[in-house]
């Protein structure tokens, strides 16, 4: 996150911004940000923020004048990477749109208490979530940011759905998109995870997202697989009066991580939250089907999972087997297509 170095910044301590007006929506901030003193007074009652570029002013007339001329009024900045059902995600490079990144970061800080506002946005990519109304144009609903180069394999730095649009499952959509986009760069290995530590709300949201991701994988296959009829996913029930449990699956935490793209620590956190973390005390040696030689290589932490338990968890938590991210939403947009040597461009997108 960032702001201008030249402006005199205020510490959030002692500030008392009462209300924020985003477009035509009025709501209260949760925290304080470090807007420049000469532009945002300490006792400002309202801060008007452009719904398209996040330029800000305490003067309503100035804000209205800007909105009529905003350069992003009709089209968001950056490149569209996902589009499905009216929702779209746009990749915005902080190097190319520094002012946009700074203004977005300052606004986001009003609702993120665990993030620091950085001065340099050039090292970040911003993925903004929009919804387009045929009559009123597009709205920015939230975003996530990502470091261009993360030494900790983070696929997300911070994430926020703006307060008026929360509780609509949009956070899960952005989380899913972050894993999908990063997955194309991971060469089939673990994709990574969000920057830690997470806030209390962020931890709660991610644990639920991870649990649902694992449940879909165990019931339906890898993310993006076609979803069959729900009745076909339900494991066969054990005959009444039988002491035998339904079929179980023995799998390593690492295998679950590779299948879902999640870090092993996140897999374990999710399994524990689902009540499904049942590790084997002593992993058994495995014999190779091809050579018949016993493999002494440590297979990783093995867990035993009953598919019926996964199904019960899914039912209790009203899990939709369909992934919140639709693969067709990326078609023609992402990933970029490398052209042949004879083409006029070396790197293009599938759309024109």
Q: Which residue has the tokens 């746009």?
A: 90
318: left (phi over 0), alpha (psi -120 to 50) or beta: left
Q: How many CA atoms lie within 13 A of 115 on its CB side?
A: 26
Question: Measured between alpha carbons, how far is 54 from 99 in angstroms, rounded to an integer?
Answer: 9
Question: Measured between alpha carbons, how far is 226 from 157 in angstroms, rounded to an integer?
Answer: 30
Provide φ and ψ at 318, rounded to 5°. Answer: 55, 45
Question: Measured between alpha carbons, how far is 28 from 30 in angstroms, rounded to an integer?
Answer: 7
Cα torsion through 92, 94, 100, 104, rounded to 10: 90
Considering the candidates 195, 254, 255, 322, report the single residue annotated as catalytic: 195
Tell the burial category of 188 from Cβ atoms under 10 Å away from its Cβ (0-12, 13-18, 19+).
exposed
**Residues paired with residue 2 on neighbouring β-strands, in sequence order:** none
Tell me whether residue 265 is one of the annotated catalytic residues. no
Provide DSSP, 203-219: HHHHHHHHHHHHHHHHH
- Hey, what are 210's tokens? 């991870």
Nearest residue to 165 via CA among 137, 203, 208, 130: 130
Q: Which residues are identified as catalytic?
A: 195
């Amino acid at each position: 996150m960032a702001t201008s170095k030249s402006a005199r910044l205020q510490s959030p301590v002692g500030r008392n911004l009462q209300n924020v007006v985003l477009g035509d929506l009025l709501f209260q901030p949760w925290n304080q940000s470090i807007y420049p003193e000469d532009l945002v007074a300490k006792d400002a009652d309202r801060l008007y923020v452009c719904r398209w570029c996040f330029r800000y002013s305490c003067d309503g007339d100035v804000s209205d004048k800007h909105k009529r001329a905003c350069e992003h009024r009709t089209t968001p900045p950056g490149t569209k990477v996902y589009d499905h059902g009216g929702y779209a995600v746009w990749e915005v490079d902080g190097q190319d749109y520094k002012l946009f990144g700074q203004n977005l970061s300052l606004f986001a800080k009003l609702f993120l208490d665990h993030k620091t506002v950085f001065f340099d946005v050039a090292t970040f990519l911003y993925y903004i979530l929009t919804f387009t109304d045929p009559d009123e144009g597009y709205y920015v609903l939230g975003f996530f940011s990502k470091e261009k180069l993360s030494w900790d394999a983070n696929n997300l730095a911070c994430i926020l759905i703006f307060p008026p649009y929360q509780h609509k499952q949009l956070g899960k959509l952005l989380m899913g998109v972050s894993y999908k986009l990063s997955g194309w760069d991971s060469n089939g290995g673990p994709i990574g995870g969000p920057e830690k530590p997470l806030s209390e709300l962020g931890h709660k949201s991610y644990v639920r997202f991870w649990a649902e991701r694992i449940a879909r994988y165990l019931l339906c296959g890898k993310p993006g697989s076609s979803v069959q009829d729900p009745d076909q996913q339900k494991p066969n029930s054990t005959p009444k009066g039988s002491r035998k449990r339904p079929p179980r699956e023995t799998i390593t935490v690492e295998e679950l991580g590779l299948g879902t793209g999640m870090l092993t620590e996140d897999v374990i956190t999710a399994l524990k939250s689902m009540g499904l973390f049942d590790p084997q005390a002593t992993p058994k040696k495995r014999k190779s089907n091809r050579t018949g030689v016993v493999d002494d290589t440590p297979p990783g932490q093995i867990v035993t999972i009953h598919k019926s338990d996964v199904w019960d968890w899914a039912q209790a938590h009203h899990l939709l087997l369909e992934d919140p991210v639709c693969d067709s939403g990326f078609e023609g947009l992402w990933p970029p297509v490398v052209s042949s040597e004879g083409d006029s461009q070396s790197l293009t997108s599938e759309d024109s």
